Structure 1
Amino acid sequence: MAKDKEYFDRSGPSRLTSVDWKCESHQRCVAASLVQGVYILERDQQNNRQRPQALAPPWFMFFGFQLLHQLVDDDDSSIIGTIYEFKPSPSNCKHHSTQDAPKYVIAFRGTILNPDTLLQDIKSNTRLTINRLHTGSRFETANQAIENMFNEVGYSNNIWLAGHSLGSAMAMLLGKNMVVKKGILPKAFLFNPPFFSAPIEGTFRNEKLKDGFRIAFSFFTAGITQIVKDKEERAQSEDQFAALSRWAPYLFVNKEDHICCEYVGYFENREKMKKIGARRIGMVATQNSISSLLSSAIWKEESAEPLHLLPSANLTVNLSSSQKFREAHGLQQWWRPDLHLESKLYQY
């Protein structure tokens, strides 16, 4: 039997009967709803729910989107993402403005704790932790589908990327590729994006202790970078990082979610390093991760650039209290109307 959270009319942002596409709050709610649509599409498939029993369509059709293409895992045939096209019906146009709406939205789900999908989801999460998400078949599937879409409709900046947890990492990787390789700046909504580092933000309560630990760790990271990377490699990393700086994806994190909360400290620490006169060291630390550097040193192979590190971002933090980790890491929080949010643009 389906859970209440799978029904759009029971748990979705159905209050948004009129969408203002310039409103960031509305954008956030719609993007989260479209990602939820991917989750429910896969749930429909697992439970063999066909129309009219299928529960996924309201999550995207309510806002005027049609399903253009499903992204399917080659190994387990699960739905990992979708390409939506904004194609409102006449009835939708009466309620929702079409001005400033995205033409296409590419959305990705996160991990589903179900035997049908768990194995491949774990494999993707493992690749993510070792900066090898780009080597998996899921990335190839998504990247090829996007290439095909561009070949059909042409290149456009009027594209949104969206994802939750593992799905946000996939969206981030594709977004970076679009920026660097195609010069496209997609608007990206990344909900609870994983940040693989010591969870300082969620571990220490004392602000001075947190600041001191991060500053010391920045010096340590910069030192390891000097040892592991030669001058040419460091220059290449800096150029790649700078090339991404004009792209500022929207990151949505919960301070009680240890999977993503370290993004708060990551960006705050960069500003603190500037204040103490260690801007250069802070910049080097911002571009590198210890795990990636050590992997390169130990295995004597070229290390992939850390996926989770970003030069610029619109960071939104949910300061509302969460009773459980699943609530803090859950997608549903991002369309709630009573959120206590704090947002800031960090520019490289």
Structure 2
Amino acid sequence: MEENKVKEEGKPLSERHIFCLSGPTHLTTVDWNNFNHRRSVAASLVRGVYILEYDRQLNRRGSQAHAPPWWDSFNFRLIRPLVDDADNSIFGAVYELMPFTSDCNHSVQNAPDYVVAFRGTINKPDTMSRDLRLDIRCVRNRLHETSRYQLAMQAVWSIIDAAAGTSRIWLAGHSLGSAISLLVGKNVTKMGYSVEAYLFNPPFPASIEIIKDGKLKDGIRITTSLLKAGLATAKGHYRSLPPDGPFMLLSKWVPYLFVNPADPICSGYIGYFEHRKKMEEFRAGKIERIATLNSLLKRDSEPLHLLLSANLTINSSKSPDFKRAHGIQQWWDPSFDGQSELHEYK
């Protein structure tokens, strides 16, 4: 992506790296009960991971580093970066919210204790090869086999173990990092632990989304649901689920999904949840629920993107190009115009 340039000490730098030039500086006081504030902070912490890696690549250290303001501004401290063992790139970060003082104006209700954030793909020589291989793994539904995912899980488990499962943990990610957050969140939830997730531009398979004919897409979705429901019924899956099992735990997990209809990487979630809503309206909700169950119970091949419940936020603002539609900055834009809808698996 071509970047606007500014001069600092004679060297060209991207203004997108500098918090005071492109970050959510309008958010001088955080109300943790305000969904828009939480969205902006989570996106900023993800951006901090990107800048940590840029700082590493450009050898910016100490006072020259651009990353700290992306978390310092919201009273977080960096506990540790998460480093990929294949290329030594920084792909994630563990943040802790600092204790509030008596004269602090922040509202602490709904505030996290820890945030584990993950970046997406960086198209730079130091990271591009590794990131693109992981993108392919994501498309092939094999992200769970990667060391980056394993490191992410270890980071979350270390927090859970240290606090005996009592800490309020957020997961946050963008693009590929969103897929990692989603996979970690699903697996932690199935094991009975509570995490809150903020998923920006999460990848969704585009196989059906390339079809322009809306009626044809609806027909394909309905046919697919009928076939899957038939298979699940024949196998008797939906009659043997324990009420306290992983499936029921996952159905109660409601991550926050943030998508842009102009972004083909994540826009499939819009059609996915619209289809489920239509099936409910047409009194075919049971068929769709059984079809979803059939997909989830496939051994070793549970679709990464598949969610039972979610709070879906769609950016209604027009995006001039794909890069803007897929970018992280849109999610803290003070002029953000979006619509949110809760989708629950009943």
Q: Normalising TM by the smaller chain, what interval?
A: 0.7 to 0.9
The residue identity in structure 1 corresponding to 2:204 is: F
What is residue 263 of structure 1 aligned with on the other side? 269
RMSD: 2.6
Equivalent residues of 2:237, 2:294 under 8 A apart: no
What is residue 41 of structure 1 aligned with on the other side? 52
Equivalent residues of 2:232, 2:238 under 8 A apart: no
| Aligned: 1:219 with 2:226 | yes
Equivalent residues of 2:171, 2:181 under 8 A apart: yes
Structure with bigger helix share is: 1
The 2-side partners of 1:188 and 1:222 are apart by: 29
Q: 1:125 to 1:235 in 2, by over 3 A?
A: farther
Please state whether the residue corresponding to 1:2 is helix, strand or coil: strand
The residue identity in structure 1 corresponding to 2:287 is: I
What is residue 5 of structure 2 aligned with on the other side? none
The residue identity in structure 2 corresponding to 1:190 is: L
The residue identity in structure 2 corresponding to 1:51 is: G
Equivalent residues of 2:96, 2:113 under 8 A apart: yes
Please state whether the residue corresponding to 1:20 is helix, strand or coil: coil
| Aligned: 1:273 with 2:279 | yes
What is residue 318 of structure 1 aligned with on the other side? 315
- Structure 1 residue 126 displacement after superposition: 1.7
The residue identity in structure 1 corresponding to 2:223 is: A
The residue identity in structure 2 corresponding to 1:256 is: A
- Structure 1 residue 176 displacement after superposition: 1.0
Please state whether the residue corresponding to 2:48 is helix, strand or coil: helix
- Structure 1 residue 151 displacement after superposition: 2.5
The 2-side partners of 1:304 and 1:235 are apart by: 20
Q: 1:336 aligns with which of 323, 333, 336?
A: 333
What is residue 5 of structure 1 aligned with on the other side? 16
Q: 1:237 to 1:123 in 2, by over 3 A?
A: farther
Residue-pair matches, total:
333
TM-score, with structure 1 as normaliser: 0.87
| Aligned: 1:170 with 2:180 | yes
The residue identity in structure 2 corresponding to 1:261 is: S
Q: 2:40 aligns with which of 29, 34, 37?
A: 29
Please state whether the residue corresponding to 2:63 is helix, strand or coil: coil
Equivalent residues of 2:32, 2:107 under 8 A apart: yes
Q: 1:90 to 1:277 in 2, by over 3 A?
A: closer
The 1-side partners of 2:130 and 2:342 are apart by: 35
Equivalent residues of 2:228, 2:294 under 8 A apart: yes
What is residue 345 of structure 1 aligned with on the other side? 342
The residue identity in structure 2 corresponding to 1:262 is: G
- Structure 1 residue 286 displacement after superposition: 2.9
- Structure 1 residue 279 displacement after superposition: 2.4
The 1-side partners of 2:329 and 2:73 are apart by: 17
1:127-206 correspondence runs (5 A): 127-181=137-191, 183-200=192-209, 203-204=211-212
The 2-side partners of 1:10 and 1:330 are apart by: 16
The 2-side partners of 1:322 and 1:203 are apart by: 21
What is residue 67 of structure 1 aligned with on the other side? 78
Q: C-alpha offsets along residues 43-72 of structure 1, whole Å, 9 cap, x if unaligned?
A: 000000001010000000000000012111
What is residue 55 of structure 1 aligned with on the other side? 66
Q: 1:230 to 1:115 in 2, by over 3 A?
A: farther
Please state whether the residue corresponding to 2:13 is helix, strand or coil: coil
Equivalent residues of 1:254, 1:261 under 8 A apart: yes
Please state whether the residue corresponding to 1:265 is helix, strand or coil: helix
- Structure 1 residue 211 displacement after superposition: 3.1
Q: 1:199 to 1:237 in 2, by over 3 A?
A: farther
Equivalent residues of 1:38, 1:82 under 8 A apart: yes
Q: C-alpha offsets along residues 128-169 of structure 1, whole Å, 9 cap, x if unaligned?
A: 112211111011111122222223232125111100011011
- Structure 1 residue 113 displacement after superposition: 0.5
1:73-92 correspondence runs (5 A): 73-87=84-98
Equivalent residues of 2:160, 2:167 under 8 A apart: no
What is residue 106 of structure 1 aligned with on the other side? 116
- Structure 1 residue 105 displacement after superposition: 0.4
The residue identity in structure 1 corresponding to 2:139 is: T
Please state whether the residue corresponding to 1:94 is helix, strand or coil: coil
The 2-side partners of 1:257 and 1:241 are apart by: 30
Q: C-alpha offsets along residues 180-210 of structure 1, whole Å, 9 cap, x if unaligned?
A: 11x222111000001114253x653x65454
The residue identity in structure 1 corresponding to 2:333 is: R
